[in-house]
Every structure is written in structure tokens, then in C-alpha cells.
Chain A
Amino acid sequence: MKILVCISNVPDTTTKIKLTADQSAVDLANVQWIINPWDELALTRALELKETSGGKIEKVTVMTVGTQSAEPTMRKALAIGADDAIRVNAEPQDAYFTAQQIAHALKDEHYDIILCGIESSDYNGSAMGNMLSEFMELPAVSSVSNIEIDGDQVKVNREIPGGYEVVEPELPFVAVVQKGIAKEPRIPSMRGIMMARRKPLKVVEPAEAEALTEFVRYEPPKPKAACKMVDADNVEELVELLHNEAKII
């Protein structure tokens, strides 16, 4: 069995977001880049599955669509433990474009399980993984919070309001994963970092593809009014403010 993990290269989630002067873009100069948090958890779970599979899972591959600037993030994924990496050499435009690029690059490859994070922490699109499954004509399960391999079958937990369902998909399939899929993301070890330098990172040229959406303008969030402080010995005032001023209770 082979597992593919799709990775988005995103600004560190603690980044202060600045806009360009004409507000047509986010100013990404001097930003620290990381593996999208959900993709990082997906990779962690893929490696756990491989390690406990008794050799049944031969390989965990990571894949991204991005320019050369995404390579340090891919090397980090290799340092964490992925066996090899594929980068489609294109600037990602929207989820439709990215999913098409990945589907095209995979058309002669076979993976049994494809893992994608449920959302990227930059443009919060929540679409790529499920678009990919449609382009590849594969079944998919979304909102996956656990994945187990049971013989030749894969079982996943899908979150539903108030609980979860255990779902058995036909293979190959796409799992779009969320919180819970792995406990803590792994941190690369010194040895991992050394080994990552020699692991294969294949660069694939992009296919003809189009984007269907375009971000045209950005605005900073509206400034918030200052927090109104209430004395800890007079909490009745808070109840009164919530009732009469905020009219929320």
C-alpha cells in the first residue's frame, strides 16, 4: 500500500497579516512558511500507519503545488519522515486549479490512500481535497478524525453533529482529515533533517489548467471598540450590560 499526503505551504499561523499598499494582495515578504497545520497532522498519521503496518505500507509520499519557494516546507515534510516528495511547479491560484494540477500529475501513479487537510490556514477554502477526489473520480470521506487499516480494508471516523460515523470506503480513496486525526504533529529530528537532504524530491511541470475564482481586493478587519471592564465584585453589572446594552440575554 502507498499513502500520498497533499501539503499546502502556508504562512505561520501566528503571522501578523499586512496588505500591500493598493490592497490587491497580502504582503508576504518576510513571512515564515510552514506545513498547513491539518496537512501536518495528516502526515503524522500517515507515518504512524506505516510504522505499525508491519511493512504493508511501503511508502508515504508528500505532494504540493508550488514554486521553488515551497521546497523548504517539502524538505521539512521529508525530515519528519516522508519517503519522497513531488512538487508541481506552478503558483497555486485557487483550489480548482490546484486539484486539477495534482490529479494530472498523478494520472500514471497509484496511491491507495490520499490524505488532504480539511482547510488551509491562509485562504480558508476547504475545497481542494474533495475537488481532487472528483477530478480523480475516487470516493472520498470528509471530516475524518481517525483512520485505521484493518486487513485489506480501511475504516475512518467521520465527524457528524454530536458524534461520529465509522465509514468503510472502497480503495483507492481520498480522506479529508481534521482535528483528532493525530495527536501532536511530529517535529523533525536532527537525523531526519540530515536524511531529508538525500531523499528524492521530484519536480513535475504543470498541466494546462484554469482557475475559476480570483481574489481581487483585501481589507483589514474593522477595528474593535475597547473592552468594557466590569469589577469582579460587581458581576451583576455584567448581567445588566448583556441584557440592556448588548441585548444578548
Chain B
Amino acid sequence: MSVLIYTENFDGKFKKANFEIVSYGAEIAQQLGTDAIALSIGNVADDELKQLGTYGATKVLSFNDERFATLDNQAYATAIARATEHTGANVVIFSNSNTSKAVAPRVSVKLKAGMVFGVTGLPKNLDPFTVPKKVFHGKAFADVVIKSPVKIISLAQNSFGVTEHPSEAVIETFAADIDDSTFKTKVISVEKATGKVLLTDAEIIVSGGRGMKGPENWKPLEELAEILGAATACSRPVSDEGWRPHSEHVGQTGKIVAPNLYIALGISGAIQHLAGVSSSKVIVAVNTDPEAPVFQAADYGIIGDVQKVLPKLNEAFRKFKAEN
């Protein structure tokens, strides 16, 4: 028995979401009276692997194979299923990244292990194993029972937080012995922007809607993002109009985000937009219409024209940053 946590690396480094799932897995392991074991796939330095111990992993299995430099769903799932069998894990934990979405369902089928995606907290019950999750994009919460002996869960980002369990992690090399014939996809090129704060990693997001009136008005919004070290985002009409790239669209069909602070500028707050941002810790809304639904979801609101309010906000935040 053990809890296995798949910690995905990004160019050899772990991100906060990985430390969060290790913290979470360590807590479940404690409840079950067993060990939390992390699994790393790819080329990650020992110092980086050791960090996982800080969050409660007692052992780190490191599987380094150059064929795993890019994602092949079948190969990754086979490796994770083998590590699950190797460690005798009865709970396997993933983040809710795109890689997890690609791989965890295959592991589920391989091991006949029930899977719940987007879990929002610790198990409510260990037997039967019951976990909470959001359904209908936050319009309701549900308790889900996993009935199989092995359970797979992916944790919704920022729903548990990072907790330190000062311990030493033993690093163990793991060989999954994956046959070449398993690899059936080939990455032929990569396009990647560097140096930008990614929406899914951002602690603060500054987002613009139709109230911004046009792409030429985005400069002060970008300025605010720079002052706050934030990522920029937009509502669906904005990306549909081509004012901003589709990758910035936040909402039900775009990206689901969970930052500490979400600043909605000139966004009325359609139900589909709010579904994508409702997990934010604090929401600030600026809108001319006091009846806009965004104020139902917001913690702090300003009624006013975003074109006039934004320069004032920039000035106030800049002053605050200079003094703090």
C-alpha cells in the first residue's frame, strides 16, 4: 500500500502545482498510514527531485529515458501504470494539467482504477473512498465514490495549497522497460513563447472584455499586468473579434483559471465566463453597468468606464508597489 504522486516537470523543473499535489498526497498517505511516493519521468536533477521531500514525499522514483522527452500518451501511461504496480499504490494522484488529462484516463483503464478529475479537497471518507469535486463548472459540488481497489484522482489547482512536511526523500532509479513499439506519435515541431507569465501559472490575472472597446485600448491593461507581475487574459467576445489571441480566452470553453486575484475590466460576466474564473480567490470587477452579473461574482467592484478607471488604477498600484 502507498500513495503515488505523478510529478510532471517542465524543462527539468517542478512548478507550484506539483508541490501542491505532493503536499496533498502526503496528507492522504498520513490518513491511510502509509508512504507518499513521487514519480518523476524525464531528465530532472537530483537537487530538484530532493525538493519533493520538502512537501512530504518519502521516496522519489526517477525514470529517465530520452524517448520520454516529449509526451506520448501510451508510453507515459504504461510507465505510470508500471510504477503503480511496482509501488503497490492504491491511490494515484495527478495535477490537472493537460498532460494529466492525456495520461491519467489511460492509466485508469490499464489498472481498472476508477478516476475522478478536478478533485477540490481531501477525501471526505476513506471507506468508501469519497472525494469532492465541482460539477457544471462550479454551479454545484458533488461527492464521488471510487469503487475500485486502486483510485486515481487529479487535484484542481490551488484547491489544497502547499504545505511543508520537512522530510528527506530517498531517490530511487526506476526503469519502466517500455518497448519502442509503444511509441505511436511523433512531435515534429514546437512553437513556444518564452518570458511571458502563463495564464495557468499566474497568481494574478488582468482580463479585458468588450468594455475595452477595441484592441487599440489594451496598452494600459498590459501596463497594469506588468506592474502586478500578472498574466493578461480576455473574455470570449474579445478573442472571437480577434482583438486578442484565442490562447488568452478565459471561460468555460477557454481556459479555466484559479489565480489569487482576478481583475475583470469591462467584462459583463456571462455565466460561461464566470464558470472559468469562479475558483479565483479574489475577484475585482470594473464595469459601467451596476447591474452587470460580474458584480454577483466579484468581491470588490468599481462602477465606472474602464477607460477612465484603468489609468487611475495603474497609478495607485504603481504607487503601492513603489512603497511596498
Do residues A221 and B201 form an inter-chain contact, with CB atoms below 8 A?
A: no
Is the CB–CB distance between B136 and A166 below 8 Å?
A: no
**Residue tally, chain A, CB below 8 Å to B:** 85
Contact of A134 among B105, B189, B254 (CB under 8 A): B105
User: Is residue B303 within 8 Å, beta carbon to beta carbon, of the partner chain?
Assistant: yes
B317: A residues at CB distance < 8 A:
239, 249
In the assembled complex, B77 has its CB within 8 A of some CB on chain A: yes
Q: Are B114 and A213 in contact (CB under 8 A)?
A: yes
Tell which of A19, A155, A173, A221 has the most Cβ of chain B within 10 Å. A221
- Name the B residues within 8 Å of A15 (CB-CB): 136
Q: How far is the CA of A129 from the CA of B106 in the complex (A)?
A: 10
Cβ B135 vs Cβ A122 within 8 A: yes
0/1 per residue, B106-124, Cβ < 8 Å to A?
1011101111111000000
Interface membership of chain B positions 230-262, coded 1 if the CB is closer than 8 angstroms to chain A and 0 otherwise: 000000000010000011010011110000110
Stretch at the interface among B167-175, B213-221, B279-287: B279-287
A21 in the interface, Cβ–Cβ < 8 Å?
no
Collect the chain B residues with CB atoms within 8 Å of residue A242's CB.
Answer: 261, 282, 284, 300
> Is the pair B116, A17 in contact by a Cβ cutoff of 8 Å?
no
The answer to whether B102 and A166 touch across the interface, beta carbons within 8 angstroms, is: no
Of A165, A219, A248, the residue contacting B282 (CB under 8 A) is A248
> Counting CB contacts under 8 A, is A236 at the interface?
yes
For B142, the chain A residues whose CB sits under 8 A away are: 123, 215-219
Using Cβ atoms and an 8 Å threshold, which residues of chain B touch A165? Answer: 70, 187, 189-191
Whether A239 touches B135, Cβ cut-off 8 Å, given contacts A139-B184, A214-B145, is no
Which residues of B line the A interface, CB within 8 A?
10, 70-74, 77, 98, 101-106, 108-110, 112-118, 130, 133-148, 184-194, 196, 198, 200-201, 204, 228, 240, 246-247, 249, 252-255, 260-261, 271-272, 275, 278, 281-282, 284-285, 295-304, 308-309, 312-313, 316-317, 319-320, 324
Please state if B109 and A99 are interface contacts (CB–CB under 8 Å).
yes
Nearest chain A CB to B17 CB, angstrom units: 11
Contact A212 B146 (CB under 8 A): yes
Looking at the assembled complex, report how far the CB atom of B253 sits from the nearest CB atom of chain A, in whole angstroms: 5
Which of A124, A139, A217 contacts B73 (CB under 8 A)?
Answer: A139
- Bound-state CA distance A17–B185 (Å) is 40
